[in-house]
Amino acid sequence: MNKNELDPSWVESQLRDAQWQTSSSGGQTCVQVAFLDQGIVALRDSKNTSKAPHLFTDAEYDAFIGGILRGELRRN
C-alpha cells in the first residue's frame, strides 16, 4: 500500500466517517487516532481537528508506536 497514491476523495470520505480515539492520559494536549480502511491510520492533534491529519500505513504506525515505547523518540 502506497499511501501517497490514495484517491483524495476516498481519503476525504474515510476521514469524514472516521471514529477518532483520544488519548486517555488526561492531559490538555492529546492526539487522536483513527483506523481507516485499506490499512491506513490517521493521527491528528485534538486541538486542531480542522488541520489535515498525518496518514500512516499500518507498518509505519507500528514502527512509530514501537519507537515511542522503546524511548527512541525522546527529546534529548
* Domain membership flag for residue 13: yes
* Domain membership flag for residue 75: no
Confidence at 1, pLDDT banded by 50, 70, 90? low
Give this prediction's pTM. Answer: 0.84
Residue 2 clears pLDDT 80, i.e. is over it: no
Q: How far is CA 55 from CA 26, 37, 43, in A?
A: 24, 12, 6
Cell digits for 72?
Answer: 527512541
Confidence at 76, pLDDT banded by 50, 70, 90? confident
Q: Where are the beta strands (DSSP E) in the chain?
A: 21-22, 31-36, 40-45, 54-57
The per-residue pLDDT for range 10-57, each reduced to its tens digit, is 999 999 999 999 877 666 678 899 999 999 999 999 888 899 999 999
Mean pLDDT of the chain: 90
Containing domain of residue 27, as a range?
7-69
* Domain membership flag for residue 2: no
